[in-house]
Copies of this chain bind each other. A is one copy, B any other.
C-alpha cells in the first residue's frame, strides 16, 4: 500500500549560508548567481562525494524546515493570485522538499562550496545529484501563470509570507 505511507529521510548534511530568515532571501538561486554557501556533508556520507568535482552544476535537495507548510492553495512570491501548490515553487508545500540547482566552485573535504544559493542557513540536506543537460534540458511550450509574471532581470527577494511565527532555528 502506498496511500498513507510515510517515508523517512535522514539529514545527510547541512547548508551553511548567510540567510537566517526567508525575508530577503533570493526566491530562486538562478536569480542570485553570486550568493555563495557551503553544503557540508556529514562524515558518514562523505564517501558519496567521490568524483563530484567533475560536475560544474548540482541539484541540492533540502527541506524547508522553517516553512509553515500544509496549505494546498497558495499565493507564490511572484503572484498575488492563489494557485495550486504543485503549480508553484513555493516553500510552503505538503512535503517540505526544496531543490536548488547550484554551481559547484570547489570541494574541500566534506564541504561543497557552491554559488547561486537561495537556501536558509541550517537547512538539512537530503540529497545531491549532478545536473546533466542530456537528462535535464527540456523545452516547455507552456509555463502557466508564471509567463505573465516572470521578471526577466534583477534579483527577486522573498518576503515573510511563508515564515512560521516563533520558529526555532536549528
Contact = CB atoms under 8 A, between A and B. Distances in A.
Interface of A: 1-12, 14, 28-30, 41-42, 45, 47-59, 61, 63, 65, 72-73, 82-89, 93-97, 99, 101, 103, 122-124, 126-138, 140-146, 150, 152, 170
Given A52-B144, A89-B130, 7 more contacts: A2-B14, A30-B135, A48-B85, A48-B86, A50-B82, A57-B140, A132-B143
A54 B87 contact: yes
A86 B52 contact: yes
Identical copies in the complex: 2
Contacts of A128: 86
Contact of A89 (B103, B129, B140): B129
Contact of A126 (B50, B95, B132, B145): B95
A2 B170 contact: yes
Contacts of A49: 84, 86-87
A140 to B, nearest CB: 4
